[in-house]
Amino acid sequence: MITKDSALHFGHLSLEVGSNSENDATMITVTEYEEVSPKHYNESNKYEFYLVDEETEMFIKALQERIRLND
């Protein structure tokens, strides 16, 4: 069973973090949105990652760095 624990929204991205009890992994879903008109967005791409503890920490650090570089 997959549970969604939290979601972050910034710019054209949404980041959801959850857990998968079947394989004891952290699930991270990154969704990109494209602006179709002011204040209206459509989902354009969705990426799902299933990570174990060490991978989760590395992924989040890399994502934070990428966000920092894009700001």
pLDDT tier at 2, thresholds 50, 70, 90: very low
Architecture, CATH, for domain 2-70: Roll (3.10)
Q: Rounded distance, CA 33 to CA 38, Å?
A: 13
pLDDT tens digits along 25-63: 788 888 888 888 877 888 888 888 887 777 777 877 887
pLDDT tier at 6, thresholds 50, 70, 90: low
Query: Torsion angle of alpha carbons 65, 52, 3, 62, nearest 10°?
Result: 10
Q: pTM for the whole thing?
A: 0.55
Provide the 3-class DSSP secondary structure of residue 38.
coil
Q: Where are the domains of the chain?
A: 2-70
Q: Rounded distance, CA 58 to CA 50, Å?
A: 13
Q: Rounded distance, CA 27 to CA 52, Å?
A: 9
pLDDT at 71: 57
Identify which has the larger pLDDT, 26 or 5: 26
